[in-house]
A and B are shown apart, each in its own frame.
Chain A
Amino acid sequence: MASKHTIATRHAQGIRARFASRFLRSLLRLRRSGNRFGGSQSNDEGIGKRIRTDRIKIAAYAAMARAVGPRRSWSRALLFKLRNRARIHGVSRKRCLVSEKKRVARNKVVAISREPSRADTLRKLVPGGDSMDTCVLLEETAHYIKCLATQVTVMQSIADRLLL
């Protein structure tokens, strides 16, 4: 029977490997679609760079959320947010503003019934933190930080390897 420590380390290595493979696949996909839309667009290079950076950032967070899976509250909330964002991008701006307002109003009603706690900045930083009580929030924060650190390490090592 493997000890708790070995199970935990195996679990940690699993997250790193799962995130790395998903993220690298997204990078390949992004690069392929980037080449299709034309190599050099010199007139709006600044905007193009911003869009590419955002796409990579979203790919990183999505890859991490998918690697963690639905077993964590923050990964579920993050996947939900990313799917809504992807859906809104396909719809006209006017319609998306209306749906955004409805969602914000619904969340506001829930917030008023709770009394304000000390961890409010933390709630804004952790995905899905608005609807958690403090104990769950701290637990989710710990796991979120661990996964974020893994994400940064993997992205760093990819960037270093791409330079070679």
Chain B
Amino acid sequence: MIRSLILLQSYSNFFPETRNRRSEKVSAAKALQETCNYIKSLHREVDDLSERLSELLETTDTTQAAIIRNLLMQ
């Protein structure tokens, strides 16, 4: 998906005289919009996961052992 986005953008720059110019511009703009939406959704997921992790870190007593286990397993 990312590679196609980059290719799309570069194509619309190289061929400005093509008959399908408007459709290429529209799809490049749409790809940019989708990229922005995707990045925003990833940021939101990081926020939600941070909140979940902060709750988990506070509640359990055995968290330290679990984190160390995680560290060893990665």
- Which of B35, B63, B68 gathers most chain A CB within 10 Å? B35
Chain A positions within 8 Å of B6 at CB level = 138-139, 142
Q: Is there an interface contact between A148 and B54, defined as CB atoms closer than 8 Å?
A: no
Q: Mark B35-73, 1 if CB is under 8 A from A, else 0.
A: 110111011011101111111111010011011111100
Instruction: Kindly identify which residue among B5, B47, B63 contacts A162, using a CB–CB cutoff of 8 Å.
Output: B63
Q: Mark A57-93, 1 if CB is under 8 A from B, else 0.
A: 1001100000000000000000000000000000000
Q: Is there an interface contact between B53 and A56, defined as CB atoms closer than 8 Å?
A: yes
Closest to A142 in B: B2
Q: Is there an interface contact between A161 and B40, defined as CB atoms closer than 8 Å?
A: no
Report whether over half of chain A's contact residues are helix, strand or loop; otherwise say mixed: helix
Bound complex: CA A118 to CA B57 (Å):
42
Q: Mark B1-37, 1 if CB is under 8 A from A, else 0.
A: 0110110011000000000000000000100100110
Number of B positions contacting A (CB below 8 A): 38
Bound complex: CA A155 to CA B40 (Å):
17
Q: Is there an interface contact between A162 and B54, defined as CB atoms closer than 8 Å?
A: no
Chain B positions within 8 Å of A56 at CB level = 50, 53-54, 57
| Chain A residues in the interface with B (C-beta under 8 A) | 17, 20-21, 24-25, 27-28, 30-31, 34, 49, 52-57, 60-61, 118-119, 121-122, 125-126, 134-135, 138-139, 141-142, 144-146, 148-149, 151-152, 155-156, 158-159, 161-164
| Chain B residues in the interface with A (C-beta under 8 A) | 2-3, 5-6, 9-10, 29, 32, 35-36, 38-40, 42-43, 45-47, 49-58, 60, 63-64, 66-71, 74
Known: A158-B53, A162-B57. 7 other contacts (CB 8 A): A24-B67, A49-B55, A53-B54, A56-B53, A122-B35, A138-B9, A145-B39
